[in-house]
Amino acid sequence: MKSRDRIRLLSRIAFVIYMIVLVYFLLLSDGFGRTARHEQWQYNLIPFYEINRFLQYREIIGTYNVLLNLVGNVVAFIPFGALIRWVINQPVRCMQVVGYTFAFSLWVELLQLIAKVGSFDVDDLLLNTLGGLLGYWVYWMLKWMNKRRENHDSKQV
């Protein structure tokens, strides 16, 4: 098995595991209140409203909860942006990753709204998409560092 094929296979396996864990936390996790169903639909359609609310009331909400919500939404989607290229088996551009991440995040937010677990939040769409973009940058940085290492190693010989 070629190195590239091995990377593709391992990336796809990692992506499937990542998606199972992500869907669990976003839709099913009792620890995040996902098993408690709301009576009414919960949603926020005003950009930066929840982000500002979390920052404004951080002393009441607690730093841990603020970081969990704001940073967690970004970090949770970094693997998506880093691995999507290997899953679809073709090179992707920055705006394609943004589109894929936004579309997947929108799907998750709509599922939360319909199932009445969690809430549909436009701020989550923004933060998740930012995470996918950061993941794309991580992928390119690792690729760049690997290419540099290979060039360095070839000059050493």
The predicted model gives 74-88 an average pLDDT of: 93
Q: What is the mean pLDDT of residues 96-107?
A: 97
CA distances 59 to 33, 49, 68, 143, 145, Å, are 21, 17, 14, 41, 41
Closest CA to 73 of 94, 46, 100, 50: 50
More confident residue, 55 or 38: 55
Query: What is the pLDDT at residue 37?
Result: 66
Q: Which two tokens stand for residue 42?
A: 């919960």
For residue 48, the SS3 value is coil
Phi first, then psi: give them for residue 120, nearest 5 degrees.
Answer: -80, 120
Q: What is the pLDDT of residues 16-31, one digit of tens each?
A: 999 999 988 888 887 6
Tally Cβ neighbours within 10 Å of residue 152: 9
Query: Which residues share a beta bridge with 121?
Result: 44
**8 A C-beta contact, residue 97 and residue 132:** yes
- What mean pLDDT do residues 142-150 have? 86
Percent of the chain with pLDDT over 90: 61
56 versus 155: the higher-pLDDT residue is 56
Give yes or no for a contact between 60 and 44, defined as CB atoms under 8 angstroms apart. no
Q: Give the mean model confidence (pLDDT) for residues 102-127.
A: 93
Single out the residue of 57, 107, 54 nearest to residue 77, CA to CA.
107
pLDDT range class, residue 157, cuts 50, 70, 90: low
CA distance 92 to 114: 31
